[in-house]
Amino acid sequence: MNMKFYQKPWFIFGLIAAIFLIYGLALENGWWILKGKDDGQLGTFGDSWGMLTSLFSALAFGGLMITIWQQQEELGLTRKEMKDQQFENMLFKMLEVHANIVADLDLRSKRANNQQTTTGRDCFTAFLRRLTGNYNYYQKKDPSKSDQELVEVAYRYFWRKNRNNLGHYFRYVYNIFKYIDNSDREDKKTYTNIVRAQLSDHEVALLYYNCLSEFGSEKFKPMAVEYELFDNMPKDLLIRVQHEDLYPQKAFGSSQP
């Protein structure tokens, strides 16, 4: 905390000492109003020294109280800084764990009698491809269903098939956002933007459909909208471009027209 010079203890006590010194010199040398006074008058004036001493004692006490108040204010700022640092340390630890969860993902599939393994972030491209296939299947099966209904039924089937791979991932991403949302930070959007920056486009697209399903619509979707999670998400990753209408405009941030 930057204090002005007149708030600093050395200035306060220096000023008091200077006044005492000037007063003492005035008594000693007969300056100013003491000039020309007889001994009786000087004695009477000298008696005021005791009163002035009491006054400056009170001023000294006031200076001490100012110092204590300043120290308490500095301590309060220090505690806030420590709390902020703890919050950020925890958040970045959570992001490290998230990165490890993504890195540990692996999918195995057979194509033309060859087993293929997909790992890490590349898995989300495969997940989105599977979800798209499910959606197209149910759309052909029952074209009368609305986009929202088709998303729900397609995602439900997708989730049954991929829960073992994605359950931990979605729970953890949700808890990162929940950690920020439950904090007393005023700049929550800044921190959710940091989290958003760690997610690949295909991750965000899969989260898009997770939040539209029964598995994310109640708890995760409100935070996704509030913190504009889908800002700058490539629309060509949506199964259908019309699915953009399944969210309020706020979810796409200020970059949207």
Q: Which spans in 3-121 are helix H?
A: 9-29, 39-103
The answer to pTM > 0.85 is: no
With a CB cutoff of 8 Å and minimum separation 6, the contacts of 193 are 227
How far from 183 is each of 77, 88, 90, 179, 192, CA to CA, in Å? Answer: 18, 11, 12, 6, 12
Please report the pLDDT score of residue 32 as a whole number: 47
In this structure, are residues 147 and 243 in contact, taking their beta carbons and an 8 Å threshold? yes
Please report the pLDDT score of residue 168 as a whole number: 94
Q: How many CB atoms lie within 10 A of CB 26?
A: 15
Q: How many CB atoms lie within 10 A of CB 164?
A: 7
Percent above pLDDT 90 for the chain: 58
Please report the pLDDT score of residue 78 as a whole number: 72
Please report the pLDDT score of residue 43 as a whole number: 53
74, pLDDT greater than 60: yes
CA dihedral for 145, 133, 241, 174, sign (positive or negative) = positive
Please report the pLDDT score of residue 80 as a whole number: 75
Specify the amino acid at residue 199. Answer: L
With a CB cutoff of 8 Å and minimum separation 6, the contacts of 34 are 26, 27, 42, 45
29, pLDDT greater than 70: no
19, pLDDT greater than 70: no
- Average pLDDT, whole number, for the chain? 82
Task: Convert the pLDDT of each residue in 192-240 to its tens digit.
Answer: 999 999 999 999 999 999 999 999 999 999 999 999 999 999 999 999 9
